[in-house]
Amino acid sequence: MANKPDIHRLIELHKMLILFLEVKRMSFLPGDVRKRENDVEHSYFLAMFAWFLAPHFPNLDRDRMIRLSLAHDLVEIHAGDTFVFGDQKDLDTKEERETAAVIQLEEEWADFTEMHEALHEYKDKSTEEAKFVYVLDKLMPTIVNYLSGGKSWHEHGVTLEMFRAEKEKKIPKDSPLYDYYQQILAFFETKPELFKQP
Question: How far apart are the C-alpha atoms of 31 and 12, rounded to whole Å?
Answer: 33
Question: How far apart are the C-alpha atoms of 83 and 27, rounded to whole Å?
Answer: 9
Question: How far apart are the C-alpha atoms of 198 and 183, rounded to whole Å?
Answer: 22
- Hey, which bits of the chain come out as E strands? 24-28, 36-38
List, for the chain, all residue ranges whose pLDDT scores fall below the cut of 70. Answer: 1, 32-33
Q: Which domains does the chain have, with CATH numbers?
A: 35-194 (1.10.3210.10)
Q: How far is CA 73 from CA 17, 76, 102, 137, 188, in A?
A: 12, 6, 10, 10, 27
Query: In this predicted structure, what is the pLDDT of residue 1?
Result: 59
Query: In this predicted structure, what is the pLDDT of residue 10?
Result: 98
Beta strand pairing call for 24-28 and 36-38: antiparallel
